[in-house]
């Protein structure tokens, strides 16, 4: 099948070049202060463009916090950071209702979740009740405190970070809650060349001022960029590919040996997440249509956290990411 088939479609609105340039300026500003972090940066922007939430996993000191702070510098919305600890309570995130003696009424004091960009650092150190309050807010865009429902801002994006090393006092996120994250991004250690550049960059920042972000996207621009990303075309043949890929986690259709390693397959929420993320990736690359590479590149980040392996597969040292990557190798794209 030719590339033309992927792009052929009914008349589409032309790309707003000025807006696209602003989004790319945001990306370049992020990349400028985050050495060798191309994947993390792209994923953050995909989250922003789809309205999806991100889980970023990596060892301490890999610039996860820095990346989200930098993103907040490039956005004209409010930002909050929540540092998770085992004694955190749901109300510390959601806010509380207090009695106002003078007014003779209850007043709701919103918690840190009521911001456009919320960094939830070390989410696996928060106790389960806090995690479930967080994930409910992420899923519903609203919070219910003392019987009253409060809408969260729009845009509302959560970036949660977690440490892969299992310390005492961590609470791994339950699988059903992991499903609420659009993407699960894994950050790796930098190579020597990148590490060398990090030294120069941070030394420069310590001596002078850190370079400010070149743009600040307004809420209206974020909404418009979201609409543009959503309008990116997905050819019918590519939707078939998406379905074939996810079906490979459920049935023996594609790779029976890989399927056999999977205890819980990915749900349609996973298929949708992969399609939407693929659209945003295409938009970032200036395309008006998705290509198979968009899907293949994002499959592990969109699907691996939504599947559960059998105990046997886990005992054999297989990982969900590895299984999804193998599946991508084995499922034909077109």
CA–CA dist 132, 106 (Å, integer): 25
CA–CA dist 211, 291 (Å, integer): 35
- In whole angstroms, how close is the CB of 138 to Mg ion at the nearest point? 19
- Are 185 and 301 within 8 A, CB to CB? yes
Of the candidates 50, 65, 131, 271, which one interacts with ligand ADP according to CB under 6 A?
65
Of the candidates 64, 115, 184, 306, which one interacts with ligand ADP according to CB under 6 A?
64
Residue 147 CB neighbours (<10 A):
6
Torsion of CA 269, 271, 314, 55, to 10 degrees: -60
Of the candidates 36, 77, 90, 248, which one interacts with ligand ADP according to CB under 6 A?
36
Handedness of CA 277, 283, 285, 287 (dihedral sign): positive
CA–CA dist 118, 112 (Å, integer): 8
Candidates 63-71, 105-113, 169-177, 275-283: pick the segment binding ligand ADP (CB under 6 A): 63-71
Expressed in percent and rounded to 5, the helix, strand and coil fractions of the chain are 50, 15, 35
**Subset of residues 37 to 56 that bind ligand ADP, contact rule: CB under 6 A:** 37
Of the candidates 198, 224, 296, 314, which one interacts with ligand ADP according to CB under 6 A?
198
Quick check: 35 binds ligand ADP (CB under 6 A)?
yes
Quick check: 201 binds ligand ADP (CB under 6 A)?
yes
- In whole angstroms, how close is the CB of 112 to ligand ADP at the nearest point? 17
Question: Of Mg ion, ligand ADP, none, which one does residue 201 interact with (CB within 5 to 8 Å by kind)?
Answer: ligand ADP
Give me the residues that bind ligand ADP (CB under 6 A), please: 34-37, 58, 60-66, 190, 198, 201-202
């Amino acid at each position: 099948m030719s590339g033309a088939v992927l792009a052929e479609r009914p008349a589409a609105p032309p790309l707003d070049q000025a807006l696209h340039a602003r989004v790319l300026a945001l990306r370049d500003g992020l990349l400028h202060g985050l050495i060798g972090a191309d994947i993390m940066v792209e994923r953050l922007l995909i989250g922003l463009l789809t309205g999806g939430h991100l889980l970023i996993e990596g060892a301490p000191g890999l610039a996860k916090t820095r990346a989200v702070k930098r993103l907040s510098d490039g956005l004209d919305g409010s930002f909050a950071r929540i540092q998770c600890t085992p004694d955190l309570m749901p109300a510390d995130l959601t806010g509380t209702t207090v009695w106002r003696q003078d007014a003779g009424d209850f007043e709701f004091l919103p918690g840190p979740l009521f911001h456009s960009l919320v960094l939830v650092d070390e989410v696996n150190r928060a106790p389960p009740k806090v995690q479930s309050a967080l994930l409910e807010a992420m899923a519903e865009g609203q919070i219910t405190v003392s019987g009253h429902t409060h809408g969260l801002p729009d845009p509302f994006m959560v970036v949660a970070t977690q440490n892969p090393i299992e310390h005492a006092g961590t609470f791994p996120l339950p699988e059903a809650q992991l499903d609420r994250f659009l993407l699960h991004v894994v950050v790796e250690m930098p190579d020597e060349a990148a590490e060398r550049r990090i030294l120069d960059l941070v030394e420069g920042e310590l001596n002078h001022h850190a370079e400010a972000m070149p743009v600040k996207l307004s809420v209206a621009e974020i909404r418009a960029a979201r609409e543009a990303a959503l309008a990116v075309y997905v050819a019918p043949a590519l939707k078939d590919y998406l379905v074939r890929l996810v079906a490979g986690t459920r049935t023996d259709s594609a790779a029976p040996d890989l399927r056999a390693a999977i205890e819980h397959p990915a749900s349609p929420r996973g298929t949708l997440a992969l399609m939407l993320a693929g659209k945003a990736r295409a938009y970032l690359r200036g395309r008006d249509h998705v290509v198979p590479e968009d899907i293949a590149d994002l499959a592990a980040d969109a699907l691996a956290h939504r599947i559960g392996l059998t105990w046997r597969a886990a005992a054999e040292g297989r990982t969900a990411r590895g299984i999804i990557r193998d599946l991508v190798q084995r499922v034909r794209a077109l």
